[in-house]
Structure 1
Amino acid sequence: MALTGAAGCGGGVGDRFAPKSKASESGPRPAITVQQAGAVVDRYEKVNNQANKTRDSRLLSTVEGGALLASSQAGYEQFSALPAKKRKSYGSPFFYIDRHFYIPVGTTWFAVEATVKGEASEKNFRRFLVFDRGAENGAWKNVAGVSAEGKIPKVTLDDDGYATAVSPDRKVGVLAPNDLAGSVNDLVVTGGTGKSKQTLVSTPTAQRARAVHRNRNKNLSARVVFTPVRPEHSTVYALKTELGVLAVFNGAYDKEMTSTTHYIKPSKDTAIYMGRKQRTHFNLHYLYQGLAHLPATGKASLIGRNADFIGAEG
C-alpha cells in the first residue's frame, strides 16, 4: 500500500488511505496497515530522538536493528571524537515528513520514503527507509535508512494500492539486487575499473564512491588497500518500479593502511578503538547502506550510499 502522508511531523493517517476491502479478504495479506505503519514510524522518531540525547544504545535497539543499528552504535561510540559544535547539536530532534508508505503483500517489511526535517547537520533531504519485523523477535525495527542524492524512482502499485516485493535473486537488467554490493564495493576497491564498469552507470553517488579510492593516499604517507567484506546483515529489500526494481542493500569493506618508513598517528575516532599509540599498520572497518535502481534493461543506478566507520584494529 502506498500512502502520501500529511506535511506535519508524524500524526494520524486518514481513512481515505485505507486499502480496498478485497485486498484484505482473500490471498496473501500485508504485514501491516497504513495506520499501523504510521504509528511505527512515529514511535521510531520518538524513541530515536530520546536515545540520541544520551546515546543510549540499549534504548535505540528497541526500534532499530541490523546494519543501521550497527552504524548508529558506532556513531555513539565515536561521539567524543566529534568537533565541539557537532557534539552540541548531536541530540537535536529530527522528524520524517511528507511520508510515502510502500507496503508489499506477503512480506514481513514495509518501506517509507520521507523528507528528514530537523537534523542540525544537514538540510532537508529525502530518505528511503525499511522497517522489518521478521528479523528480530517480531518487533518492528528500522533496519535501513538511505539518503537519496537524486529523485527516487516511482514504486509500482497494484489495483489495491499495494507495492510488489521482488526476489533479490532475480536478475533485472545486467544484475540482480543481491549483486549490488559487489558492484558498489568495486567502486571503492578498484576505483571502478572492475565489474562496476559493466553494471553501474556513473551517477554522482557512484562518482563519490570512486573518489574514496582515488583519494586513498591523500595527505597520508602509507600504502592503502581496500578489501570487500561480507556484511553481517546482508538482507536486500527490493520493490517493483515503473521501469525496473528499487533495491536497498548493505555492503562493507576494510581499509588497510601500512607504512614501512614511519609510524602513523591514529585519528581521534580511530583512537577510540585502538588507543593513541602510533603504529605502522591499521585496519579500519566500514559499513554502508545503498539505494539503487535496476532498470529492466541496461546498467543499474546508485542513487544513495551512506557509509560509516564502525571500528578498527592494528
Structure 2
Amino acid sequence: MHSFLRVVAAGVLLTLLAAAGCAEGRTEARPTAGVPETSPPAPVPLTPQVAESAFRAYVTDEDVARSAGDERLALTWTSDGQSQLTAAEFRKAAYDGDPVQRFVYGKPKLYVPKLKDAAYPQWFVVSVDRSVLGKDKSKRRTLMGFILRGPSDHWKLTLATLLQEKAKEPKVAIDADGYATALSTDDPSMLIRPRDVGGIQATIAAEGPRSVAAKVMKSSAVTTGFYQDAKRDRKKAKKKDLTLQVVYTATPFPYFGLRTEHGGGLVIYSLFRNTSLVAKDPDTPKPEIPQEAEHLLDGTVEGNEVDTTATLHFAAYDPPKAKKNATQPKAHMIADDGAVTKAATPPVKKQP
C-alpha cells in the first residue's frame, strides 16, 4: 500500500513540475508517471454447466490428494465443516495405520440456484451416489454443498451428508432452464424458517420428545434419539462418579435451502456437538478418552476432564405451511454424517 502511495505521489509531483516548466516558457517534453490499472477478475455467472465442471474438477482433485495421502492438498478443496472432518479423517487414518479412503462417484444431480450474476458467495448442491473404493456395498446417496466465496477463489466442498437408509430424497423443483430456487433465510411459506431448522433439531436433542420443538419436527435417531443417547450416557457416567454434559450448538458455516416440488424445502446445514466428561471428586479416577477421540489426543488425560467437539452435517425436509383446516405435516430429517473433530484434556483449573 505504501509503495502504491509513493507511485501516486511521484505522478502528482511530475505533473506539477511539467506545469511549472510550461509556465516558464519551456517547450521540452516532460515525463509522466503512469500507474498500472488492476481490476479483480470478472464474475463468472453460475450456470448448471459451470456447476458440473466445478463438481468434476473436485472429484478429480480430491482423488489425487487422497491417493497420495496428501492432507494439505485435500484441504485446499474443502472449507468450513468439511475441512474439519477431512483433517480428522486423515489423522484417524494415520493413527490406525490405514490409507485414507477414496471415493467413486456415480452420475450427479445438480441443484443450481439462479443467483445474481455479480453476487457472492455462489453455491450449488449435488446429489450423487458415492462408494468407498474397494468396499462392496458401500454405496450411499450423498448430498454435497459447494461454495465459491469470490471471483479470485476456487470452488470448495463445504459440507457432505449421507441420505438415511429409509429416507426418500425430496424432489427439488427445477425450472425449464435447469435452475433450482433458493429459499430465503426466513421464507414465510415454510413450516420452519430455513435458518431455524438446525435450532429446532438442537432443541429437541436437548429437551426430548416433550419439547415444544417436537411439535414441528418428527422423532428420529438424530432428534429425540440424540436426547435418549445423552440421557443414557449420563447415567453410565454417573455410575463412575463422572459428570457428562452434552450440548448441540449452531455453527458459523453456511447452510443451503432449496425449493422442492409442491412447495416444500430441502435444507442442508451443520451443528456442533460439544461434550464434557468431568471427574469432580479428586478421588475419582480420571475419565477415559472416548474411542472416537483417541486419534486426536496423545493418550493421556492431564487433568480431570475430557472435552470433545463433533462436526455434524444434516439435511432435512421442511414442509410448506398447511392451508387452513388441513393437516400440517412435520419437518423430518433425511440425511446425517459427522465425526469428532476436536478433543482436549485441559489441566485442572486452579482455585483462586
TM-score by length of 2: 0.71
**Alignment-derived partner of residue 333 in structure 2:** 302
Amino acid aligned to 2:111? Y
**Alignment-derived partner of residue 45 in structure 1:** 59
Identity across the alignment (%): 19
Q: Note if contact 2:75-2:87 (Cα within 8 Å) is conserved in structure 1.
A: no
Amino acid aligned to 1:141? K
CA distance in 2, matches of 1:116, 1:208: 26
CA distance in 2, matches of 1:239, 1:138: 24
After TM superposition, give the deviation of residue 193 of structure 1 in Å: 4.0
Q: Note if contact 1:168-1:236 (Cα within 8 Å) is conserved in structure 2.
A: no
Kindly report which structure 2 residues correspond to 1:56-205, keeping only aligned pairs within 5 A, or say none.
56-82=70-96, 87-88=98-99, 90-91=100-101, 93-106=102-115, 108-119=122-133, 120=135, 123-134=138-149, 137-149=152-164, 150-205=167-222
Q: Note if contact 1:186-1:194 (Cα within 8 Å) is conserved in structure 2.
A: yes
After TM superposition, give the deviation of residue 296 of structure 1 in Å: 0.5
Amino acid aligned to 1:262? P
**Alignment-derived partner of residue 27 in structure 2:** none
1:54-81 C-alpha deviation (Å, 9 max, x unpaired): 4423212332112111111122223244
Amino acid aligned to 2:114? V
Q: Note if contact 1:78-1:269 (Cα within 8 Å) is conserved in structure 2.
A: no
Which of these residues, 283, 288, 292, is aligned with residue 265 of structure 1? 288
Which deviates further from its counterpart, 181-190 or 263-272?
263-272
After TM superposition, give the deviation of residue 36 of structure 1 in Å: 3.1
1:107-130 C-alpha deviation (Å, 9 max, x unpaired): 611111111133438621111111
* SS across alignment from 2:184: coil
After TM superposition, give the deviation of residue 291 of structure 1 in Å: 0.2
CA distance in 2, matches of 1:197, 1:79: 38
1:227 matched to 2:247: yes
Amino acid aligned to 1:101? L
Question: Cα gap change, 1:273/1:117 in structure 2, threshold over 3 Å: closer, same or farther?
Answer: closer
1:311 matched to 2:342: yes
Question: Cα gap change, 1:57/1:194 in structure 2, threshold over 3 Å: closer, same or farther?
Answer: farther
| Bigger radius of gyration | 2
* SS across alignment from 1:78: helix
Amino acid aligned to 1:291? A
After TM superposition, give the deviation of residue 53 of structure 1 in Å: 3.2
Structure 2 portions without partners, runs of 5+: 1-42, 117-121, 322-327, 346-352
Question: Cα gap change, 1:266/1:198 in structure 2, threshold over 3 Å: closer, same or farther?
Answer: same
Question: Cα gap change, 1:138/1:192 in structure 2, threshold over 3 Å: closer, same or farther?
Answer: farther
Question: Cα gap change, 1:173/1:232 in structure 2, threshold over 3 Å: closer, same or farther?
Answer: closer
**Alignment-derived partner of residue 253 in structure 1:** 273
Structure 1 portions without partners, runs of 5+: 1-28
After TM superposition, give the deviation of residue 154 of structure 1 in Å: 0.4
After TM superposition, give the deviation of residue 209 of structure 1 in Å: 3.2
Which deviates further from its counterpart, 271-280 or 56-65?
271-280
**Alignment-derived partner of residue 257 in structure 2:** 238
1:287 matched to 2:311: yes
CA distance in 2, matches of 1:166, 1:30: 22
Q: Note if contact 1:186-1:193 (Cα within 8 Å) is conserved in structure 2.
A: no
After TM superposition, give the deviation of residue 49 of structure 1 in Å: 1.8
Q: Note if contact 2:48-2:178 (Cα within 8 Å) is conserved in structure 1.
A: no
**Alignment-derived partner of residue 35 in structure 1:** 49
CA distance in 2, matches of 1:209, 1:269: 16
1:215-234 C-alpha deviation (Å, 9 max, x unpaired): 4247543221112333232x
- Paired residue total: 280
**Alignment-derived partner of residue 15 in structure 1:** none
1:23-50 C-alpha deviation (Å, 9 max, x unpaired): xxxxxx9943333322222221122122
* SS across alignment from 1:216: helix
* SS across alignment from 1:46: helix
CA distance in 2, matches of 1:137, 1:219: 51
* SS across alignment from 1:266: coil
1:186-236 C-alpha deviation (Å, 9 max, x unpaired): 343334443431231124554543443244247543221112333232x22
Q: Note if contact 1:65-1:143 (Cα within 8 Å) is conserved in structure 2.
A: yes
Question: Cα gap change, 1:129/1:136 in structure 2, threshold over 3 Å: closer, same or farther?
Answer: farther
CA distance in 2, matches of 1:170, 1:33: 24
After TM superposition, give the deviation of residue 251 of structure 1 in Å: 1.0
After TM superposition, give the deviation of residue 176 of structure 1 in Å: 1.0
Q: Note if contact 2:209-2:219 (Cα within 8 Å) is conserved in structure 1.
A: no
**Alignment-derived partner of residue 7 in structure 1:** none
